[in-house]
Amino acid sequence: MGSTRYTIKKISPLQAIVFTGTISLLIIIAGTVGFFLTQHTVLEKVKKKQACYLDLVDFRGKLIEFGLSRNLEQSPHVAHNSEVLFLVYEKLLLQMQNAGLQPFASIQTARESWPAQLTGENLERFKLKLDQSIEKAKIESNEAAVKLVVINEFFLFFILAVLLTLSITAGWLLHNNYRQTLIPLAQLVGQLKLLNRNIPESIHDTAEEMKKELTETEHSSDITQITKSIMSFCGDIEAKNKKLDEIYIRDEKTNLYNYRHFKEHLIIDVERAKRLSDTVSLAMIDIDHFKRYNDTNGHVAGDKALKILANIISSQCRAYDVPARFGGDEFALLFPKTGTGTARDIAERLRKIISDEPFLHEAGKSVGEFTVSIGIATFPGDALDWTTLISNADRALYKAKAEGRNNVVVFQSMEIPSTPG
């Protein structure tokens, strides 16, 4: 008993704090490794669910196009389209399984009986199940993203708990003899307490405040190292959050904004225009004969062409315009605070640039030119709400395609049949 007391007395305060600091550092390292491994796993799940959600939306568009064109096309084309849909359907089932999503339909049908599933009431039931799956995939994707944020927040508070424990131990051992360590540590804890987990910018502001304290106040080497580690950690979280935001609002194939982000902006801009008596224009862009190009050159070449077109569209946008992939081979270009004339000029310039652009395939071999048809509608002259604005821009687009494609049609210029009063 006396020997034990003598050993404790021989331990200096410096040795005690070094021992405590070592244990705390080991806990931080273990937690950091576990955190990054968990974060990587969750991030992969977010990517898979997001990709699956976008592919489901794309498949829904193809299914709608198939239903609309079924009575217009010849039997061989219908059969071919049905075969393509079946292959996409099989791929989606596997993709959903890999993403941890429940397959959207329990239909396990043979290839030869697949066309029967795409007719009449069977097709409507199939669409209903598909819509339910899209909504579920969206919800699960959002939940996975929220889980990733929660993991980040949990680790921040884990670091805070370790630092608080270290500060209490150091204060008990050193009292007022190590003010150069205890006072800066209290300031560091104060900065972390100000961290608002509901505001992403708070992480950046906290790191900046830590950097300011580090340069203005004299610290011990231990505190300096801890502060730099937390600053680095805050920087990593900020970068991860930015990457996650990009995944959430960007289309994977074209890097344009996805439909969800486009719709949010459209609703906001139309409401703002109502309050300020301003205008909002919308251009719907469709690639002419893109299905024929895909059938001839393959989907890989088609994806490359979509990327080239997306880059051209982005290059012609102003800083506040919103270019988006609406679905399939259709794009949408939102012009806030813009009238019909300016929107038409931009659309014409875009159409001409695309028609003049050479599209290359294997080994630089040219596969011809692409053209686009564009329909334009403007709020409030052409529509009084965002849904009608999309509908009327689509009508102008269909008019452009009916007039021979590779042109721009403004909704105002269309002859609209008058309805009886």
Domain boundary pick from 249, 283, 298: 249
In this structure, the answer to whether residues 174 and 296 fall within a common structural domain is: no
The fraction of the chain above a pLDDT of 90, given in percent, is 21
Whether the Cβ atoms of residue 222 and residue 184 lie closer than 8 Å to each other: no
Coil vs helix vs strand at 289: coil
**pLDDT at 377 (0 to 100):** 95
Within a domain: 30: yes
Instruction: Choose between 13 and 221: higher pLDDT.
Output: 221
**pLDDT at 5 (0 to 100):** 44
Chain segment 304-327, per-residue pLDDT in tens: 888 888 999 988 888 889 999 988
Instruction: Choose between 168 and 72: higher pLDDT.
Output: 168
In this structure, the answer to whether residues 177 and 80 fall within a common structural domain is: yes
In this structure, the answer to whether residues 302 and 343 fall within a common structural domain is: yes
Q: Is pLDDT above 60 for 420?
A: no
Beta strand 322-327 with 366-369: parallel, antiparallel or unpaired?
A: unpaired
40, 44, 148 from 37: Cα distances, Å:
5, 11, 12
Phi, psi of 99 (to 5 degrees): -85, 0
Chain segment 36-75, per-residue pLDDT in tens: 777 777 777 778 777 877 887 887 787 777 666 665 555 5
Within a domain: 1: no
Whether the Cβ atoms of residue 331 and residue 290 lie closer than 8 Å to each other: no
Rounded CA-CA distance 70/59 in Å is 16
In this structure, the answer to whether residues 218 and 272 fall within a common structural domain is: no
Count of domains for the chain: 2
Q: Is pLDDT above 60 for 158?
A: yes
pLDDT level of residue 1 (50, 70, 90 thresholds): very low
| CATH number, position 277 | 3.30.70.270
Within a domain: 186: yes
- The closest alpha carbon to 382, from 374, 369, 392, belongs to 392
pLDDT level of residue 209 (50, 70, 90 thresholds): low
In this structure, the answer to whether residues 110 and 225 fall within a common structural domain is: yes
In this structure, the answer to whether residues 195 and 219 fall within a common structural domain is: yes
Phi, psi of 197 (to 5 degrees): -70, -15
Within a domain: 418: no
**pLDDT at 6 (0 to 100):** 41
Q: Hey, what amino acid is at 420?
A: P
In this structure, the answer to whether residues 242 and 316 fall within a common structural domain is: no
**pLDDT at 2 (0 to 100):** 44
Domain boundary pick from 218, 249, 280: 249
**Rg, Å, the chain Cα set:** 30
Averaged pLDDT, 111-128: 66
In this structure, the answer to whether residues 245 and 266 fall within a common structural domain is: no
Chain segment 224-275, per-residue pLDDT in tens: 676 677 767 666 666 666 665 556 778 888 888 998 889 999 999 999 999 9
Chain segment 130-152, per-residue pLDDT in tens: 777 778 877 877 877 777 777 77
pLDDT level of residue 185 (50, 70, 90 thresholds): low
User: Which residues are within 8 A (CB) of 232 and not within 5 positions of it... i.e. 6 or more apart?
Assistant: none
Quote the domain boundaries for residue 96: 8-249
Within a domain: 421: no
Instruction: Choose between 153 and 204: higher pLDDT.
Output: 153
Instruction: Choose between 120 and 264: higher pLDDT.
Output: 264
**How deeply is 74 buried, as exposed, middle or buried, from its count of CB atoms within 10 A (0-12, 13-18, 19+)?**
exposed
In this structure, the answer to whether residues 187 and 232 fall within a common structural domain is: yes
pLDDT level of residue 198 (50, 70, 90 thresholds): low
Domain boundary pick from 183, 215, 249: 249
Q: Spell 88-118 as b/e; 16+ CB within 10 A means b.
A: bbeebbebbeebebebbbeeeeeeeebbebb
The fraction of the chain above a pLDDT of 70, given in percent, is 64
Within a domain: 2: no
Q: Is pLDDT above 50 for 127?
A: yes
In this structure, the answer to whether residues 333 and 187 fall within a common structural domain is: no
Averaged pLDDT, 103-107: 55
Within a domain: 419: no
pTM: 0.45
pLDDT level of residue 157 (50, 70, 90 thresholds): confident
In this structure, the answer to whether residues 242 and 168 fall within a common structural domain is: yes
Within a domain: 219: yes
Averaged pLDDT, 123-128: 73
In this structure, the answer to whether residues 355 and 240 fall within a common structural domain is: no
